Amino acid sequence: MADVIPAPEPPRLQVRGGGTFPVRRIHCVGRNFADHAREMGAQAPASREARGRPVFFSKPADALVLDGRVPYPPATKELHHEVELVAAIGRDPGPGVLDPADAQGLVFGYAIGLDLTRRDLQAQAKAGGLPWDIAKGFDHSAPVSELVRAAEAGDLESRTLSLEVNGSLRQSSELGRMIWNVAEILHELSQLYRLRAGDLVFMGTPAGVAALEPGDRCTARLDDLLRLDCAILPPLT
Ligand code: MN
């Protein structure tokens, strides 16, 4: 039987050194840096033992922006940047809960991205006890850089994730400050979803989130390993 509409192609990230990475799903972690949890008015855990469970949400794969061009989204007056490490899953682990010791082996590589957020809609959702979808999963809400293979990225803990907007530093943190590291997040996610090759996981943002306006230019970096340049464009009409 033939498709009755054109089949959508998966978005594909460029892989440094050659090849492309087709994307299946985008998982996201909320509140993975204590300083950001506090700036959002949430309580940061007092210790690793007291950290509880991570907050998860998702974006559709077609929210990815691969050319750095982000039209200002509709229905918001408060578009916020959240710079994040992005892990790319390269292998299907099968069903069941992942052991944290095995989780690292699933990671094909890393990118950096912006978890763009309609903060005003998120605040309304939180106040009303409603889902975050319209605040997080909108069109063009996930600009992402190229991918580097895990071996090339090496140890992440001492690397610094940062974001400049129009040349001013807005966010900066060592990845070692994440409340749950990559392996721990994959372990937690696997209790809720079966991870698959092609999944991306946005790992959460440090403090310093703030508003973007049309005309702004953003540069995200993971040291000198990864760079993502974005331009916020006028709204589509
Ligand atoms: Mn985020």
Tell me how far the alpha carbon of residue 103 lies from the centroid of ligand 1, in angstroms. Answer: 21
Tell me how far the alpha carbon of residue 149 lies from the centroid of ligand 1, in angstroms. Answer: 23
Question: Per-residue pLDDT for the chain (237 aa), expressed as one digit of tens each?
Answer: 999 999 999 999 999 999 999 999 999 999 999 999 999 998 888 887 889 999 999 999 999 999 999 999 999 999 999 999 999 999 999 999 999 999 999 999 999 999 999 999 999 999 999 999 999 999 999 999 999 999 999 999 999 999 999 999 999 999 999 999 999 999 999 999 999 999 999 999 999 999 999 999 999 999 999 999 999 999 998
Edge-first strand order for the sheet with 69-71 is 69-71, 226-233, 217-222, 160-165, 168-174
Per DSSP bridges, beta strands 64-65 and 148-149 are unpaired
Report the pLDDT value the prediction gives residue 131, as an integer from 0 to 100.
96
Tell me how far the alpha carbon of residue 5 lies from the centroid of ligand 1, in angstroms. Answer: 34
Tell me how far the alpha carbon of residue 97 lies from the centroid of ligand 1, in angstroms. Answer: 24
Report the pLDDT value the prediction gives residue 65, as an integer from 0 to 100.
98
Tell me how far the alpha carbon of residue 33 lies from the centroid of ligand 1, in angstroms. Answer: 10
Report the pLDDT value the prediction gives residue 115, as an integer from 0 to 100.
98
Q: How many CA atoms lie within 13 A of 229 on its CB side?
A: 3
Tell me how far the alpha carbon of residue 215 lies from the centroid of ligand 1, in angstroms. Answer: 22
Tell me how far the alpha carbon of residue 88 lies from the centroid of ligand 1, in angstroms. Answer: 16
Tell me how far the alpha carbon of residue 117 lies from the centroid of ligand 1, in angstroms. Answer: 8
Tell me how far the alpha carbon of residue 29 lies from the centroid of ligand 1, in angstroms. Answer: 6
Please check whether residue 100 is in contact with residue 227, taking contact to mean a CB–CB distance below 8 angstroms. Answer: no
Tell me how far the alpha carbon of residue 222 lies from the centroid of ligand 1, in angstroms. Answer: 16
Tell me how far the alpha carbon of residue 52 lies from the centroid of ligand 1, in angstroms. Answer: 18
Report the pLDDT value the prediction gives residue 141, as an integer from 0 to 100.
98
Tell me how far the alpha carbon of residue 30 lies from the centroid of ligand 1, in angstroms. Answer: 5
Quote the CA–CA distance of 168 and 74 in Å, as a whole number: 26
Tell me how far the alpha carbon of residue 99 lies from the centroid of ligand 1, in angstroms. Answer: 24
Residue 231 pairs with which residues in a beta bridge? 69, 217
Domains in the chain with CATH codes: 12-233 (3.90.850.10)
Tell me how far the alpha carbon of residue 216 lies from the centroid of ligand 1, in angstroms. Answer: 19
